[in-house]
Structure 1
Amino acid sequence: MTVDLPSLGLLRSLSDRHVLSVVASAGQLTRAAAASATGLSKPTVSQSVARLLESGVLVEGERTSGGRGRAGTYLTVNDAAGCALAIQAGPTGVVGETLALDGRVLATRRRTVPVPVTGGALGSALRKVCRSLTSASPGPIRAVTLSVADPVDRRTGRVVEFPASPFLVGELDPVGILAPLLPAEVHPVIDNDVSWALLAERTHGVAADTDDVLQLYLDEGMGAAMWVGGRPLHGARGLAGEIAYARTSTTGRATTTPTSGTLMDAVEALGYLREGTRAIDVDELIDDLDRATGQSRRLATAIAEITVAHAYLLDPELVVLSGRWGRHTEVVNAVTTAIGDAGGVQARVATAEVTEDAALVGARTAALGELLRTWTPEPRAVPR
């Protein structure tokens, strides 16, 4: 039987990746410390360092002092060799960051947009933020991630306007907007905000090291994201997770007769949409949840029913509730009780731990991973 052995080039790429990753994580390391951190031999680390120095991604800094043995020099990442951009576009506008490989935020830019948010206004803000960040970057932009608070067609990168969308009015083509501002070889990774928030939760929060996760985001808008078998589940076009269109039953404020409709229909019937918009009045809803009013509890029950239906379909190990009213005790209790009463479902329920700029945290995490891969390609990387 013939056994395919890894090529020398692959082995070198793997060792280079390990060395570069530990130096970036530490901020600065000596060769000896890098060998200790990676478990690689000192000669292998020295060869990787030589290649990384030659490529310009690492530079040698100040010499070490004290301790035993010969003094060495610290290795650090070279910002001039290249940076990444992480950008978030949402109801309040656009915020973007320039990132060094070691995770330092080198610059931040913000642009507000008027409400209701149109594709033209959001596109203009996105263009201005990207242009400002790229012009101020100490090195070329080698990777870009973008979070958008709406569904994203992953085949084209275009934002999809759904009828119940609380955010964007009109079309948006982020790829077309960003392409003239970026090097030709840089292809932005674009996804919706809930998917990025779940990546942040899996990296820094309650879902760390959990392969099968369902996360619900309940705020001005509603959405979901899923990881199955350690991989993100996007669907054929990337539109999976649009729970606003999931079917449920509830009663309105003025009737006790149950009606069937979408979750967005239930929100509207219960009077929780801001007048003239498709956005949820979060302050009024949280106030009602605090007082445990009948209509707010009916909405919590509708959320629980939809969660159970998704749990039967996806069999998650963990259900994460996020968003301002998604983390409310009434909603958490309703979902936890419904999951517990559902025969065969074993999922535990928890609230999100990454609550501040969660989508941007996820986009930042992915941008750093993409930036690392531009120097040391990762074999069989998990696709975003």
Structure 2
Amino acid sequence: MSVDLPSLDLLRSLSDRHVLAAVASSPGVTRAAVAATTGLSKPTVSQSVARLLDTGVLAEGERTTGGRGRAGTTLTVDAAAGCALAVQAGPGGVVGELVALDGRILATRRRAVSVPVTSRALGRALVEVCRALASDSPGPVRVVTVSVADPVDRRTGRVVELPESPFLVGELDVVDLLEGVVPVRPVVDNDVSWALLAEQARGVAAGVDDVLQLYLDDGMGAAILTGGRLLHGSRGLAGEIAYAQAHAPARGSRRAVSDTLIGCVEALGYLQPRGRAVDTTRLVADLDADRPTALAVAEAVAGVARAHAYLLDPELVVLSGGWGRHTRIVDAVTTTLGDAGGVTATVAPAEVTDDAPLVGARATAVDALLDTWLVA
């Protein structure tokens, strides 16, 4: 019986990836240090380094002196060989970063957008930021990741318009907008999905493959990781918990409200005037004060989390956002899932709280950038 052995090109590609990743994570290392870190033989490392020097992604530095053993030259990533753009577009405007393979942020650009946010204004700011960052880059832009504050059809990169969206007004086609501005097709996704990837990269979800993350702030949404992969649905609508069925006591009445989650929040008096955004400041204050209406919102969220836990069977439920991490929300979800027969998910507040979608987009961009230099 014949056995298919990996091709030489594949073995070289795997070796190059390990070597490149080792140098990117520890700039200034020597070949010997890379061999010790990766477990590859010194000849294999030397061959990989030679190939990567030829492509221009690695550069040699000064020779090391002192210590035990032979001296060697240090290795660093050369940003002139190519960089990535990571961009976050939402109600606060657009912020973008120019990122090198070793994770260095080489430049940051921002553009404010007035509220209510329109697709035209957001698109214009997005183009301006990406064009400026591309000009800042010391080498070709090889990867672009974009986070937007609405569901995204991953097949087309277009934002999906929903009637209860608190932010974007009008359709936004990121791929079309950035054609000719950046040389590669951007990877576009919803901000909560990027935030979940940030939690997996450096937060409470590290090493966990089945995660439900609820984002509760001015807007409400969720991201789902199943088997280590993000679940988007056919048009990117997976995780739109604002439309999930929920139950809560009505304000000033003993009669329960049965509506969508955003309908319950509205019935309890926590939507901002003249809009569909949650009044986060007032809701947090009422949660602090244990007001019955705010605790009813917590119960409604907990019911939605329970329904999703039975459907998805996550190992971990992460709570994020301005009021999602509040102790009363965490306690309500923990208690409700604990009382649900058969559900064993752990509940935890998010650890990555500052620019989480941008952190996730950046981490993904660096990983994708690594692959652009390797043999297919």
TM range (shorter): over 0.9
Per-residue deviation, 1:230: 1.6
Aligned residues: 376
Where does 1:179-328 land on structure 2 (aligned, <5 Å)? 179-183=179-183, 186-328=184-326
Where does 1:67-146 land on structure 2 (aligned, <5 Å)? 67-146=67-146
Q: Is the partner of 1:107 in helix, strand or coil?
A: strand
Per-residue deviation, 1:2: 2.1
Where does 1:29-40 land on structure 2 (aligned, <5 Å)? 29-40=29-40
Q: Is the partner of 2:69 in helix, strand or coil?
A: coil
Where does 1:16-35 land on structure 2 (aligned, <5 Å)? 16-35=16-35
Where does residue 354 of structure 1 map in the other structure?
Answer: 352
Q: Distance in 1 between matches of 2:187 and 2:145?
A: 5
Per-residue deviation, 1:377: 5.6
The Cα offsets for residues 78-129 of structure 1, whole Å up to 9 and x where unpaired, read as: 1110000000001110000000100000000000000000000000000000
Amino acid in the other structure paired with 2:266: E
When the two structures are superposed, what TM-score results if normalisation uses the length of structure 2?
0.98
Listed as ranges, the gaps of 5+ residues in structure 2 are none
Where does residue 60 of structure 2 map in the other structure?
Answer: 60
Amino acid in the other structure paired with 2:76: T
Q: Distance in 2 between matches of 1:246 and 1:377?
A: 45
Per-residue deviation, 1:69: 2.9
Q: Distance in 2 between matches of 1:229 and 1:4?
A: 27
The Cα offsets for residues 122-172 of structure 1, whole Å up to 9 and x where unpaired, read as: 000000000100011101000010000111110110011111111101110
Amino acid in the other structure paired with 1:371: L
Q: Distance in 2 between matches of 1:299 and 1:232?
A: 27
Where does residue 2 of structure 1 map in the other structure?
Answer: 2
Are the aligned partners of 1:219 and 1:324 in contact in 2 as well (CA < 8 Å)?
yes
> What's the Cα RMSD here?
1.0
Q: Is the partner of 1:169 in helix, strand or coil?
A: coil
Are the aligned partners of 2:305 and 2:333 in contact in 1 as well (CA < 8 Å)?
yes
Per-residue deviation, 1:243: 0.1
Per-residue deviation, 1:270: 0.8
Which stretch of the first structure deviates more once superposed, 60-69 or 161-170?
60-69
Which stretch of the first structure deviates more once superposed, 244-253 or 81-90?
244-253
Q: 1:370 aligns with which of 368, 371, 374?
A: 368
Are the aligned partners of 2:89 and 2:122 in contact in 1 as well (CA < 8 Å)?
yes
Q: Distance in 2 between matches of 1:121 and 1:71?
A: 56
Deviating runs (4+, > 6 A) in structure 1? none
The Cα offsets for residues 190-212 of structure 1, whole Å up to 9 and x where unpaired, read as: 10010000001011011110111
Which stretch of the first structure deviates more once superposed, 253-262 or 160-169?
253-262
Q: Distance in 2 between matches of 1:364 and 1:139?
A: 18
Are the aligned partners of 1:194 and 1:217 in contact in 2 as well (CA < 8 Å)?
yes
Where does residue 151 of structure 1 map in the other structure?
Answer: 151
Q: Distance in 1 between matches of 2:69 and 2:341?
A: 64
Per-residue deviation, 1:65: 1.4
Q: Is the partner of 1:226 in helix, strand or coil?
A: strand
Q: Distance in 2 between matches of 1:89 and 1:259?
A: 34
Q: Distance in 2 between matches of 1:252 and 1:376?
A: 58
When the two structures are superposed, what TM-score results if normalisation uses the length of structure 1?
0.96
The Cα offsets for residues 208-227 of structure 1, whole Å up to 9 and x where unpaired, read as: 10111111000000000111
